Structure 1
Amino acid sequence: MKQLKLTLGIVAIAFITLTAVSCKENKNEHNNADGHHDTDKTEHNEMMGNDEMGNSDKMMSNNNQDAKAEVIIKDYFELKNALVSDDTKKAADAGKTLVASLKAFDSSKYTAEQQSELNDIFEDAIEHAEHIAESAMDHQREHFKILSKDITDMIAITGTENTLYQQFCPMYDGGSAWLSMSEDIKNPYYGSKMLSCGKVQKEIN
């Protein structure tokens, strides 16, 4: 009987000891796992912070370097909206404004090759904007087609801080593209006649 009690006592002590050790090891493993997770989380936060800082710096750079390009883009959309609304006078006024903003652009911050390309683009764009400022609606739309290509080519060099959409009408003049700040189709080539004719070709930026 005494032998049995002694044996049971030893077994009980061994069980308690093993349980305590096991709990301690599990706690350490849990802490280590938590520590690893925290490290990963810290690294993730640091990476996110760096990305956000990079994007912020990029946007600031765009604001500083491309402010006049953004003015040109804004004036282009004023013209496009006038054509969408079938408003010849507003389109003519927007054409005049666009001529001024195109002439005010400073390309000196770009490379020699980019300056040459931009000068060619602006020379052509100014000519078409001037025609729009002096023409009837049908001719305004004809010149707007080529002007849209010029502005698209400009953006390929200067970039833009906004998301734009290149849209396409298969019906006008064998197929014609334009830029928009919205995915919604509002056709500047037909206006109210076929306002929703077209599709999004691609997203820019």
Structure 2
Amino acid sequence: MTRLVAMSLASLLLAAVGCASTYEFSSPPPGHPANPNLEAPVHERSMTLTKADSVDPRPAKSYQWTRQEHRDADHHQHHMENEDPGHKTEETQQPVSDNFESQFAQILQAYFETAEALAADDFSTAMKKMELVQSRLKQVDPKLLAESKRGQWEQTNESAGRAAQQFLKTPNIEAARTAFEPISEQMEKAVRAFGSGALAPVYRLHCPMAGANWLQPREEVNNPYYGESMLRCGSVTDTLATATGDTKKQNHDH
């Protein structure tokens, strides 16, 4: 009997110790608000730092690189979609009316003069010439085009108009040079689709420093993106219209 009582007491004592141990273990862990003076375990501190470090406040330049990567991806996709086994396609565009050619040639001429002003570091003249581009875009009569081409022109005209407007909002020549690229892209699309009329030849040139293209009526490089500081930086990468007035659509490696 005495032995059974002793064993019962021992069992009760062990149970009490076990409960106490469980209670102490279940108290708020280190790093919990209830224990603010205790450091969290290393793995928890590491997780906290990882979450904080996941916010990546990259400088503005990173956005520019991202934008460039998207542009390169779009160019690559367009290149692959239009590439034949010989890595080159050539297509003569259908002619448009003389009246439309005349109106578009005035836009293209004002664009050329804008590029020349930027190459000469002449911000004031560049703004005046871009105002001509903008006003002449508004004066083109789409009814001069065949119905099958009107939608394409209206889309290009709208995009070019927005690009010209953004150019005219720039406060200095550096900003104007950045804004010159979008209008150049639209002019290239227009020349490929509708020709250049009497303004031939038309060359596309590329500036590797700016990563941008522009159009000129001659092959000698006059870089609008850097002006006098790097006037001859760049090269001809395509001929959009020949001296005979033929307009070509070409896709090739360069």
TM-score range, shorter chain: 0.5 to 0.7
CA drift of 1:73 comes to: 0.6
Of 150, 156, 159, which aligns to 1:121? 156
Contact between 2:97 and 2:145, CA under 8 Å: does it hold in 1?
A: no
Contact between 1:91 and 1:133, CA under 8 Å: does it hold in 2?
A: no
State the match for 1:43 in structure 2: none
% identical equivalent positions: 26
State the match for 2:178 in structure 1: 142
State the match for 2:91 in structure 1: none
Separation in structure 2 between the aligned mates of residue 116 and residue 193 of structure 1, nearest angstrom? 41
Separation in structure 1 between the aligned mates of residue 167 and residue 116 of structure 2, nearest angstrom? 14
CA drift of 1:84 comes to: 0.5
Counting only pairs closer than 5 Å after superposition, residues 122-201 of structure 1 correspond to structure 2 as 122-135=157-170, 136-160=172-196, 161=198, 162-172=200-210, 175-201=211-237
* Count of equivalent residues: 145
Name the SS for the 1:200 alignment partner. Answer: strand
Which moves more between the two structures, 161-170 or 129-138? 129-138
Q: Amino acid of the residue matched to residue 88 of structure 1?
A: F
Q: Amino acid of the residue matched to residue 128 of structure 1?
A: A
CA drift of 1:109 comes to: 2.7
Contact between 1:91 and 1:132, CA under 8 Å: does it hold in 2?
A: no
State the match for 1:8 in structure 2: none
Contact between 2:100 and 2:145, CA under 8 Å: does it hold in 1?
A: no
CA drift of 1:167 comes to: 0.5
TM-score, reference length from structure 2: 0.54
Contact between 2:223 and 2:232, CA under 8 Å: does it hold in 1?
A: yes
Name the SS for the 1:183 alignment partner. Answer: coil
Runs of 5+ consecutive residues of structure 2 not aligned to the other structure: 1-93, 242-254
Q: Amino acid of the residue matched to residue 140 of structure 2?
A: F
Separation in structure 2 between the aligned mates of residue 86 and residue 144 of structure 1, nearest angstrom? 13
Query: What does the per-residue CA deviation read over 1:49-100, in whole Å, with 9 as the maximum and x for residues that have no partner?
Result: xxxxxxxxx99x7643410010001110111111001111111111111110
State the match for 1:91 in structure 2: 126
Separation in structure 2 between the aligned mates of residue 133 and residue 146 of structure 1, nearest angstrom? 13
Q: Which has the higher helix share?
A: 1
Query: What does the per-residue CA deviation read over 1:113-150, in whole Å, with 9 as the maximum and x for residues that have no partner?
Result: 42112111111211221222231212211111010010
TM-score, reference length from structure 1: 0.66
Counting only pairs closer than 5 Å after superposition, residues 18-37 of structure 1 correspond to structure 2 as none
State the match for 2:101 in structure 1: 66
Separation in structure 1 between the aligned mates of residue 189 and residue 130 of structure 2, nearest angstrom? 18
Name the SS for the 2:206 alignment partner. Answer: strand
Which moves more between the two structures, 108-117 or 184-193? 108-117
State the match for 1:202 in structure 2: 238
Separation in structure 2 between the aligned mates of residue 94 and residue 103 of structure 1, nearest angstrom? 15
Q: Amino acid of the residue matched to residue 164 of structure 1?
A: V
Are residues 1:100 and 2:138 paired?
Answer: no
Q: Amino acid of the residue matched to residue 67 of structure 1?
A: S
Contact between 1:168 and 1:198, CA under 8 Å: does it hold in 2?
A: yes
Contact between 1:107 and 1:115, CA under 8 Å: does it hold in 2?
A: yes
Runs of 5+ consecutive residues of structure 1 not aligned to the other structure: 1-57
Runs of 4+ in 1 over 4 A off after TM superposition: none
Contact between 2:100 and 2:140, CA under 8 Å: does it hold in 1?
A: no
Separation in structure 2 between the aligned mates of residue 62 and residue 95 of structure 1, nearest angstrom? 25
CA drift of 1:198 comes to: 0.4
Q: Amino acid of the residue matched to residue 209 of structure 2?
A: M
